[in-house]
A and B are shown apart, each in its own frame.
Chain A
Amino acid sequence: MKEKILYALGALAALLLARNIRVMLTGLPDEAFQGAIFRIIFFHVPAAFTCFLCFFIALIASISYLKSGKMQWDSLAVSATEVGLAFGAANLVSGMIWARIIWGIWWTWDWRLTSMLVCWLLYAGYLVLRRAVEEPAQRARLSAVLSILSFAVVPFVFFSIKWFRTQHPQPVLYGEGKMDAAYRAMLYGNWVPLLMLAAVLVMIRIGQENRRRELDALRREVHAF
């Protein structure tokens, strides 16, 4: 039953995504200065939103684990972090493709790019730490602490951007930049299927994580005899 809902949600996300891509390609005009490539923003920006939403969920799950000691929270934390990393990678890669076309280079040490990379590395460290700890309760505890510390660094990393001159296009959703209403609607509109996709992925990972824990417990039982 639960799996069916997941598949339905995934199918709905795929449909919405297909519809959005059709509108993007046929319904929206090219941007005046950037031409066709600007459409990457409809994936680039929602991917970043989804990434940080996932990290935030991982933070809440980590705090909840430390408070309650329930392994379910640990499963949610690791699942959300992994999916967040995937969307973070999508954000970085789509940004690089855009930069190659518009700036003529794949990468520049602009602070917005660097901050995203630092955050990505921070959370990649979380996954590496998990691999180094054998005992499940200890693993959950240490990685929960690391998740909290990592999230506390994120604002520091990002506020430092403001004090550097930046090559990145100025934020268009808030501040001085302006974005056409149709573009803006598409940007948020495309966030919906990406969020649904993230939710499906997280749920599948939680299921895997729970099954793996059961397997580990059974294996221990066998070894105990």
Chain B
Amino acid sequence: MLFLRQAWTIAAKDLRSEFRTKEALNASLSFALVILLLFSFAFDPTAEMTREISGGLLWLVFAFAGALLLNRSFARELENDCLDVLVVSPVPAAALFLGKALANYVLLLGIEAVCLPVFGVFYNVSWAGQPGWLALVVLLATWGITVIGTMFSALTVNLRLRELMLPMLVYPVLIPCLMAAMQLTTPLIAGQPPSGDQLAWVRMLVGFDIIFTALSVTLVETVLIG
């Protein structure tokens, strides 16, 4: 119980400081919109093709925007040695990690909530055909991105080439999660509920989330404290 309260305190602190400056949020959101625009030059956005690759496009945008956002998660604590203070505070590293992951989750979901309608308008796809399933896939896959991103943000926080290292390490690890999300999202945008085979992808997303949440919570103390 105390653990959860500590995690919540950290999450609330992160969200409060982010909403005061909005620096990561603004950068990440405008970056997402720029990528959405850039994709329109890569192929003909009115074609039937859009519907076939829409899931892939959407999750690439989320993954890029997510990496930008998550990079700041631990890096913002470097100023004024805040990270050292957090580490020596009575909050265990696992609670610190969960709190930060929770705050990132809320922020990333917010960005996705803006991008989804914009994507629908720009590329003429209806994402409201299967709202329940789409919400489930977005919630599960976003947690996967968040938990991996936050973990690697902690892992790379003290490195010289932090901004370069994070995307390089994060994307290969995220591939199974992104692949499942893309596979599920494309038919959902076309308005079809997942069929028998595709439920396996949902199971994989759940498994991915559980295993990497457990691993990160166990290992984060080693990463931050040693």
**A34 at the B interface (CB under 8 A):** no
Checking B156, B201, B215, B222 against A141 with a beta-carbon cut-off of 8 angstroms, the contacting residue is: B222
When the two chains form their complex, are residues A118 and B219 in contact, meaning their CB atoms are under 8 A apart? Answer: no
When the two chains form their complex, are residues B172 and A122 in contact, meaning their CB atoms are under 8 A apart? Answer: yes
**A132 at the B interface (CB under 8 A):** yes
B83 to chain A, nearest CB (A): 14
Main secondary structure of the interface of B (DSSP, over half): helix
Residues in A with CB closer than 8 Å to B155 are 129, 142, 145-146
When the two chains form their complex, are residues B169 and A146 in contact, meaning their CB atoms are under 8 A apart? Answer: yes
When the two chains form their complex, are residues B161 and A132 in contact, meaning their CB atoms are under 8 A apart? Answer: yes
B199 to chain A, nearest CB (A): 11
The chain B residue with its CB closest to the CB of A66 is B222
- Contacts A133-B159, A145-B155 given; does A160 touch B179 at CB 8 Å: yes
When the two chains form their complex, are residues A137 and B176 in contact, meaning their CB atoms are under 8 A apart? Answer: no
When the two chains form their complex, are residues B219 and A159 in contact, meaning their CB atoms are under 8 A apart? Answer: no
Q: Which of B175, B201, B222 has the most CB of A within 10 A?
A: B175
The chain B residue with its CB closest to the CB of A119 is B172
Residues in B with CB closer than 8 Å to A133 are 159
When the two chains form their complex, are residues B172 and A118 in contact, meaning their CB atoms are under 8 A apart? Answer: yes
Residues in A with CB closer than 8 Å to B179 are 160
**B173 at the A interface (CB under 8 A):** yes
Assembly CA distance A149 to B159 (angstroms): 18
B186 to chain A, nearest CB (A): 14
Which B residues between 205 and 221 are near A, CB-CB below 8 angstroms? 207-208, 211-212, 215, 219
The chain A residue with its CB closest to the CB of B223 is A145
Assembly CA distance A156 to B151 (angstroms): 18
Assembly CA distance A163 to B183 (angstroms): 10
When the two chains form their complex, are residues B172 and A149 in contact, meaning their CB atoms are under 8 A apart? Answer: no
Q: Which of B179, B180, B212 has the most CB of A within 10 A?
A: B179
When the two chains form their complex, are residues A138 and B226 in contact, meaning their CB atoms are under 8 A apart? Answer: yes
When the two chains form their complex, are residues A153 and B173 in contact, meaning their CB atoms are under 8 A apart? Answer: yes
When the two chains form their complex, are residues B222 and A145 in contact, meaning their CB atoms are under 8 A apart? Answer: yes
Which A residues between 113 and 138 are near B, CB-CB below 8 angstroms? 118, 121-122, 125, 128-129, 132-134, 137-138
Residues in A with CB closer than 8 Å to B215 are 148-149, 152
The number of chain A residues with a CB under 8 A from chain B is 27
* Interface residues as binary, B146-163 with A (CB distance below 8 Å gives 1, 0 otherwise): 000001000110111100
**B1 at the A interface (CB under 8 A):** no
Checking A66, A138, A141, A150 against B173 with a beta-carbon cut-off of 8 angstroms, the contacting residue is: A150
The chain A residue with its CB closest to the CB of B214 is A152
Assembly CA distance A133 to B161 (angstroms): 9
When the two chains form their complex, are residues B160 and A157 in contact, meaning their CB atoms are under 8 A apart? Answer: no
When the two chains form their complex, are residues A125 and B168 in contact, meaning their CB atoms are under 8 A apart? Answer: yes
Residues in A with CB closer than 8 Å to B165 are 128-129, 132
Assembly CA distance A167 to B213 (angstroms): 34
The chain A residue with its CB closest to the CB of B225 is A141
When the two chains form their complex, are residues A142 and B204 in contact, meaning their CB atoms are under 8 A apart? Answer: no
The chain A residue with its CB closest to the CB of B148 is A149
Q: List 29 A-B contacts (CB under 8 A).
A: A118-B172, A122-B172, A125-B168, A125-B172, A128-B165, A129-B165, A132-B161, A132-B165, A134-B160, A138-B226, A141-B223, A144-B222, A145-B155, A145-B222, A145-B223, A146-B169, A148-B215, A148-B219, A149-B219, A150-B173, A152-B211, A152-B212, A153-B172, A156-B204, A159-B204, A160-B176, A160-B179, A163-B197, A163-B201
